Structure 1
C-alpha cells in the first residue's frame, strides 16, 4: 500500500514533466491514475465488511517509534474511496474544464500530490507520519487554492488557508508528541487499548484542546471558518475536490479517528456540540444571504462540517451512525453541485443566481444533476439525503437528557431548513424559470463536463432507493470504526410515521418557503454587511495587522544591523538564564586549593593575552585589532598544548590563521570605523563583559569540584568501533551519534550559502538604487 502512495507522488511529479502530453487530446488518460486506486480500494470492501482490519507494516525510524504503518478499516477505507472515486471524476472533469490553460501540467501535478497526501493521512497508523501527511495536504492545497497566482485575491486566499491550517498543524504535532510521551507509543492502533489511561490523565484537557485546535482549523469550524469561503477563488475542480469530500473533512477524520480513544467524556462531547452547533447554524444562515453560487456552496459546506462535528459531539451510537451516513450524503451532493457551478460559470461567465435562469433548455443533463443534488440536500424521499436527515433527527431526539435533546433537535431542524434553501438556490434557481437574456446564447457543454456531476447525482438516488448498498458496503463499517465497537443499526428507507419523519417534512416545507422568499432578494448581503466589523475574518485581520506592526518594531530594535548589538543581546540572555539556574539550582562551591600554581611560561602567555586584549579594544585601526585578535588566538593554542590537547591546538591554529587572513582580505572593502561609543556605552559593555567572564569562571571552577559522570564518554569510547566502525571517536560522534545535529547544521549552512549566492548575483535597478 505504501508503494501505491509513493507511486501517486511519483506520477504527480512525472506529470509535471509531461507538458506536451497534458496539453494534448489524450490528457483524459491521466484519469486512469485515481481510477486504478479506486478499484484497488474497492477490493478491500469484503474484508472490512467482515470486520477485518488490514495492516501494512513499514518501519521508518524504529528507534524513535516512528513508522509508516498503514491501516485499512471502515474509516480509512471510506475516505480512501471518496478521495479516489471523486478524484477520478475531478480528473475527468478538469481535463475539459481546464483545457488550454498554460499551466495545466502544474495543475495535475498539484492535484496528484494532494491526492497522495490525503491517502497517506487517512491510512496512517502512526501519529508522526499522520502529521507529516497532514502538513503535505496544507502545502499542496496552498498551491491549488492559489493556482491562479496572477490574481491577488487568489494569492491572499491561499495564504489565509495555509496560515490557518498550518496553525492547526502545530497543534497536531503537539498533540502527537504528548500522546507518545504519555503512552510510550505513536501507533494509533495501540492507543485504542490505552483509552482509560489517557482519559484519566491530568493532561487530558490539554490533549483534546490540541486535537480540537487541529481539527477545527482544517475543517473550518467557527471562528476559523472564513478561510474556506475565501478559498473559492480556486478553480472549480479544486473547490469540488478539496471542499466537498477531501481536505475539509480531514479534521472530521481526525476527530472520528480518536473518538474511540478520547471520546465519551463530558469535556469532549460538550465542546464538540457547542462548536459544531454554532458552526452549522452560522454557515447555514450565511449561505442563503449569498448570490454567488460558489459562496452559497462554501457556507453550506461550513454548515455541513459543523453538522458532522455536532454529531460526533452528541456521541451516541445513533449519532455516530448518522455522522457516518452524512459524510457520504454530503460528499455526493456537494461535489455534484460544485461541478455544476463550474459548468454554469464556464458557459455563462457568471455565478450570480440573479443573472441566471431557465438554462435547463441549454444543458438538460446538468439540470437533472442539479435537481437531484438539490433534492438530496433538502432530504427529499428516495434520495440518500432523506435517509441521512432522518438519522440526524433520530440521533438528536434520542439524546439521553430530554432538555438537551430538544435544544439539539431544534438546532438541527433550523440548520437543515437553511441548507434546504441554499441547495435549491444553487441546484434549481439557475435552471428553472424564464430563460434570461445572458443565458440565451450559451452552447451545450460537452459530455465530459456534465457526466461527473450526473454520476454523483445518480449515486445519491441509488443509495436512497437501495440503502443496503451503502450500508453493507461502507457505512456500517465506518460507524464501527468511529464507535470502536459494533453498532446494531442499518439504513432503511421507511421507519414508519414517527417524530423524525414529521420533522423531516417540516424541514422541507419551511425550506421551500424560505427559498421562494430569498430568491426574490436582489442583494440580501446588505442585511449582514453591518456586522462585518465584528466578523471573525476582520478580527483576525486586525490582529495580523497589529502583530505585523509589533514585529516591525521588535525587529527594528533587535535586528538593527549592528553586530555588536546582536552579540550584546545574546550575551545578556546567556548571563540571565545560565546565571539564574546556576545560583538558584546549583549549590555553588568553589575550591581553589586543588588548582595548580602558575608556571612562568603560563604567566607570560597570560600577560601577552591581556596586552593583546587591551590593544584590541583600544585601537582605532582595524589592522591592529585583527592582528591583536590573532595573537589572542595563538595564545589559546599554546594553552591547549600546555594542558595536553595538541589536536585542539592544531584546530585552533588553523581556524585562527584562516580567520585572520580572511579579515585582512576584506579589510579594505569595509567602511571606516564608526566612532559611536561614549563613556556610557563603554561602561555598559565593560559591565556586561565582566559579568560574562565571572559567570564562565564560576562555571569552570564549579565543574572542577562537581562529580564527573563518565557514562556517556565510556559509551562513545566502547561503541565507536563496534557500532559505527570508526576508530576516531570525535568523527564518529559527529557523523553517527550526532548525525541529525550535523545534518541540520549542513542544511543551515546550505541555506545560508544559497542566500549569499543570491545576494551576490543580485543587481539592483537604477530605480531601486535611487530609492
Structure 2
C-alpha cells in the first residue's frame, strides 16, 4: 500500500522532467496512473468483503510511537476506490478540458500529489501520519484551487481554503496528541481497545472539540462552509475531484473512523447532529438563490456533507448504514453534475442557468447524463439515490426523541437539494435553444463519456443494489464495529411510511422546480444578509486582527535595533528576577572560589576601561577599537582557563568583526551623535540590571553541587557511540544537529526565493510601475 500511495508523488516528480509529454496528444496516458491504482485496490474487494482486512506497518519514528501504519478495511477501501476511480475519469476529462493549456503538466502534477495524499489519509492507521497526509491534501488543494493564478479571485479563494483547512489541520494534530496521551498510543485500532479510558478521561471533551474542528473545517460545516463556494474558482476537474467526491469527505471519513473510539456519548452525538442539521438546511436553502451552476452545486454539496455529519451524529445502526450508502450516492451524482457543468462551460462559455436552455439539441449525450444525475440526486427510482434517501428517513424514524422534527428537516433538505439538481442538471438542457448557442459544438469524447458513465452507474447500483451491498456497504459497517448480516438493500420495500416520505420529497421537489425560477433578483435579495453571514464576520475578524498586528508591529518592530535589544533585555530581566525571587534561600560559598591572580586582575581592569571607553567615546572608530579590546581580553581568559580552541575562535571572530566595522564606518561621519541623556540613563539601568542578574545567576550555579553524570557519559561514549575523539565536537553534533537542520531549511527556502527573483522576467511596462 505504501508503494500505491507514493505512486502519485512519484508521477508528480517525473512530470518535472518529462512534463512536455503530457501536454499534447499523450496527455490521456496520464490516466493510466489512477486506473492502475483502481485495479490494484479493486483486487482487495473479495478479501475485504470476506472480513479479511489488510494491514502494513513501516517503522518511522518508533521512539515517539509514530509509524507508517496502513489498514485497508471496508471504509478505507470505499474511499480508495472513489479516489482512484473518479480520479481516473477526472484525469481523462482533464485531457480534453485543458487541452493545449501551457501548464497542463503542472495541473497533472498537483492532481497526482493530491491523489497520493488522499490515499495516505484514508489508509493511515496512525493518527499522526494521518495528519501528515491531511496537510498534504490541504497544500495540494491550495495549488489546484489557485491554478488560474493570474486571477485575483482564484488566489484569494486558494488562500481562504488553505487558511480554513490549515487551521483544521493544526486542530487535528492537537487532538491526535491529546488522544495519544490519554490512550498511550497513536494507532487508531489500539485506541479502540482503550475506549472506556478515553470516554472517561477529563480531557475527552477537549479531544472531541479538536477533532470536531478538524472535521468541520475540512468538510465545510457551518460556520466554516464559506471556503467551498469560493473554491469554485478552480477548474471544473478540481471541483469534481476535490469538492464533491474526495477531499471534502475527509472530515466525514475522520468522524466515521473515530466514532467507534469517541462516539456514543451525548456530547459527541448531540454536537454532530446539531452542526449537521444546521449545515444541511442552511446550505440547501442558499442553493435556491444561486444562478451559477457551480455555485448551486457547491451549496448542495455542503448540504450533502451536512447530511452525512447529521447521520453520523444520530449514532444508530440505521443512520450509519444510510451514511455509508449516501457517500456512494453523492459521489456518483455530484461528480456527474460537476463534469456536466464543465462540459457546458467549455462548449457554451457560460454557467448562468438564467441564460442557458435548449442545450439538449447540441449536446444530446451530455443532456442524458445530466438527466440521470438529476434523477439520482432527487432520489427517484430506479436510481441508487432512491435507496439512499429511503435509508436517510429510516435513520430519522428509528430515533427515540425528536422524530418528527428530525424527519421534517431531512425532508425539507432533500426537497431543496432536489430542486438544486433539477436547476443544474435539467434546466440548461430543456426549452428553446437561444440563437447564441446554435453554433455550440458537441463536446469531445472525454468530456461526455466520464459523466455518462457515472450517471449510468447510479442506475446500475439502484437496480442491482446487491452489487454494493456485499462488496462495499457491509464491510464499511464491519470496519466501525457494527453488525451487517441483516443488511439488505432493496429498491422496493413495499408500501411503507418511508415510501410515502420519499414520494412527498419527490413531488415537492418537482413542484418547487416549476414554481421557483432562478433569477438574479434572488441573488440581490440574499446579498442583503451578507453582513450577518459567517464569511463576512470572519473577514471582519481577519481585518481586525491584521490591524492589531500592524499596530503591534509598529510599536515593537519599529526598525530601530536598539529598541529590539532593549525589549529583549527587559523581558529577560523580568523573567530572571521572577525566577530568582522564587528562591527562598540564596547562599554562595565564597571560600570555595579560587583566588584572583594578578593576570585576571589586569585583564578585568582592561575590560572595565574598554567598557568605559565604549560608553563615553565620541568617535565611532574609538568605540569599535574598544570593542575589539574587550574581545581580546576574553580570548586571554580562555587561554588562562585551558581553552585554546575557544580562544582562537574568539580571536578570529573579533578580528573579522573589527575589520568589517571599520570598512562599514569608513564612509560614515567621524563623530557619533550621542542620544539624549534620558535614553542613555535608561540603557545604563537596563545594562546594570541585566549584568547584575547574570552575575547572581552565575554565582548560584557555581554554588550548586556538581553532577558529572552527563560529562561522564559523553567521556565514556563519545568514541564508542559517536566515533568522535573530540568530546566537544560530539556534543556540538548531538545538540546542534536539529538546530542545523532548521537553519539549512531556512537557507534553502531563502535560496529558492532568491532564485525565483533572479528568474523573474517582467514586462517593460511592469518594471517601472510603482
Secondary structure at the aligned position of 2:435 is classed as coil
Whether 1:20 aligns to 2:20 is yes
Measured in 2, the distance between the counterparts of 1:456 and 1:293 equals 19
Measured in 2, the distance between the counterparts of 1:758 and 1:8 equals 26
* Residues 429 and 182 of structure 1, relative CA distance in 2, 3 Å threshold: same
* Residues 421 and 121 of structure 1, relative CA distance in 2, 3 Å threshold: same
- 1:68 is aligned to 68
Contact 1:320/1:482, CA 8 A, preserved across alignment: no
- 1:33 is aligned to 33
Contact 2:215/2:252, CA 8 A, preserved across alignment: yes
Whether 1:694 aligns to 2:689 is no
Q: How does 1:220-235 map to 2 (within 5 A)?
A: 220-235=220-235
* Residues 532 and 755 of structure 1, relative CA distance in 2, 3 Å threshold: closer
- 1:471 is aligned to 469
- 1:132 is aligned to 132
Secondary structure at the aligned position of 1:59 is classed as strand
Measured in 1, the distance between the counterparts of 2:203 and 2:476 equals 29
Please list the CA deviations of residues 359-398 of structure 1 after superposition, one character each: whole Å capped at 9, or x if unmatched. Answer: 1121111111111111111111211111111111111111
Measured in 1, the distance between the counterparts of 2:444 and 2:630 equals 81
Shift of 1:767: 10
Whether 1:323 aligns to 2:320 is no
Measured in 1, the distance between the counterparts of 2:404 and 2:166 equals 37
Whether 1:597 aligns to 2:595 is yes
- 2:4 is aligned to 4
Whether 1:564 aligns to 2:562 is yes
Whether 1:153 aligns to 2:147 is no
Residue 636 of structure 2, aligned match among 613, 638, 659: 638
Measured in 2, the distance between the counterparts of 1:592 and 1:501 equals 93
- 2:163 is aligned to 163
- 2:679 is aligned to 681
* Residues 152 and 762 of structure 1, relative CA distance in 2, 3 Å threshold: closer
Measured in 1, the distance between the counterparts of 2:207 and 2:623 equals 56
Shift of 1:64: 2.3
Measured in 1, the distance between the counterparts of 2:636 and 2:757 equals 39
Q: How does 1:613-762 map to 2 (within 5 A)?
A: 613-668=611-666, 675=673, 677-736=675-734, 738-751=736-749
* Residues 5 and 443 of structure 1, relative CA distance in 2, 3 Å threshold: same
- Higher mean Cα deviation, 48-57 or 648-657? 648-657
Measured in 1, the distance between the counterparts of 2:756 and 2:28 equals 41
Shift of 1:761: 11
Shift of 1:638: 2.0
- Higher mean Cα deviation, 499-508 or 717-726? 717-726
- Higher mean Cα deviation, 161-170 or 471-480? 471-480
Measured in 2, the distance between the counterparts of 1:559 and 1:534 equals 35
Please list the CA deviations of residues 691-727 of structure 1 after superposition, one character each: whole Å capped at 9, or x if unmatched. Answer: 1112111211111222344333333333322222222
- Higher mean Cα deviation, 453-462 or 571-580? 571-580
Name stretches of at least 5 consecutive residues in structure 2 with no aligned partner: none
Residue 503 of structure 2, aligned match among 502, 505, 511: 505
Q: How does 1:50-129 map to 2 (within 5 A)?
A: 50-129=50-129
Shift of 1:200: 1.2
Shift of 1:737: 5.4
* Residues 55 and 21 of structure 1, relative CA distance in 2, 3 Å threshold: same
Contact 1:591/1:701, CA 8 A, preserved across alignment: no
Secondary structure at the aligned position of 2:587 is classed as coil
Q: How does 1:279-294 map to 2 (within 5 A)?
A: 279-294=279-294
Residue 427 of structure 1, aligned match among 425, 428, 431: 425
- 1:461 is aligned to 459
- 1:529 is aligned to 527
Shift of 1:584: 2.5
- Higher mean Cα deviation, 744-753 or 283-292? 744-753
Contact 1:476/1:490, CA 8 A, preserved across alignment: no
Measured in 2, the distance between the counterparts of 1:46 and 1:161 equals 38
Measured in 2, the distance between the counterparts of 1:149 and 1:584 equals 56
Shift of 1:551: 1.5
* Residues 667 and 611 of structure 1, relative CA distance in 2, 3 Å threshold: same
Secondary structure at the aligned position of 2:167 is classed as helix
Shift of 1:752: 5.7
- 2:178 is aligned to 178
- Higher mean Cα deviation, 42-51 or 497-506? 497-506
Q: How does 1:261-410 map to 2 (within 5 A)?
A: 261-401=261-401, 404-410=402-408
Measured in 1, the distance between the counterparts of 2:498 and 2:756 equals 66
Contact 1:590/1:698, CA 8 A, preserved across alignment: no
Measured in 1, the distance between the counterparts of 2:60 and 2:721 equals 19
Measured in 1, the distance between the counterparts of 2:340 and 2:672 equals 68
Shift of 1:731: 2.0
Shift of 1:748: 3.3
Measured in 2, the distance between the counterparts of 1:761 and 1:8 equals 28
Please list the CA deviations of residues 313-365 of structure 1 after superposition, one character each: whole Å capped at 9, or x if unmatched. Answer: 11111111111111111000000000000111111111111111121121111
- Higher mean Cα deviation, 113-122 or 731-740? 731-740
- Higher mean Cα deviation, 63-72 or 103-112? 63-72
Please list the CA deviations of residues 408-428 of structure 1 after superposition, one character each: whole Å capped at 9, or x if unmatched. Answer: 212211111100110111111
Secondary structure at the aligned position of 2:289 is classed as coil
Measured in 2, the distance between the counterparts of 1:670 and 1:760 equals 31
* Residues 448 and 751 of structure 1, relative CA distance in 2, 3 Å threshold: closer
Shift of 1:769: 9.8
Secondary structure at the aligned position of 1:298 is classed as helix
* Residues 280 and 564 of structure 1, relative CA distance in 2, 3 Å threshold: same
- 1:555 is aligned to 553
* Residues 707 and 493 of structure 1, relative CA distance in 2, 3 Å threshold: farther
Q: Tell me the matched-pair count.
A: 769
Shift of 1:177: 2.2
* Residues 761 and 327 of structure 1, relative CA distance in 2, 3 Å threshold: closer
Contact 2:322/2:388, CA 8 A, preserved across alignment: yes
* Residues 652 and 179 of structure 1, relative CA distance in 2, 3 Å threshold: farther
Measured in 2, the distance between the counterparts of 1:696 and 1:755 equals 40
Contact 1:355/1:438, CA 8 A, preserved across alignment: no
* Residues 264 and 557 of structure 1, relative CA distance in 2, 3 Å threshold: same
Contact 2:34/2:85, CA 8 A, preserved across alignment: yes
Contact 2:570/2:686, CA 8 A, preserved across alignment: yes
Measured in 2, the distance between the counterparts of 1:767 and 1:328 equals 50
Measured in 1, the distance between the counterparts of 2:761 and 2:504 equals 70
Please list the CA deviations of residues 208-232 of structure 1 after superposition, one character each: whole Å capped at 9, or x if unmatched. Answer: 1111111111111111111100010
Shift of 1:770: 11
Contact 1:55/1:72, CA 8 A, preserved across alignment: yes
Shift of 1:753: 6.6
User: Normalized against structure 2, the TM-score is what?
Assistant: 0.96
- 1:195 is aligned to 195
- 2:440 is aligned to 442
* Residues 495 and 95 of structure 1, relative CA distance in 2, 3 Å threshold: same
- 2:478 is aligned to 480
* Residues 669 and 258 of structure 1, relative CA distance in 2, 3 Å threshold: farther
Contact 2:183/2:191, CA 8 A, preserved across alignment: yes
* Residues 590 and 751 of structure 1, relative CA distance in 2, 3 Å threshold: farther
Measured in 1, the distance between the counterparts of 2:235 and 2:521 equals 25
* Residues 245 and 697 of structure 1, relative CA distance in 2, 3 Å threshold: same
* Residues 767 and 379 of structure 1, relative CA distance in 2, 3 Å threshold: closer
Shift of 1:637: 1.9
- Higher mean Cα deviation, 76-85 or 566-575? 566-575
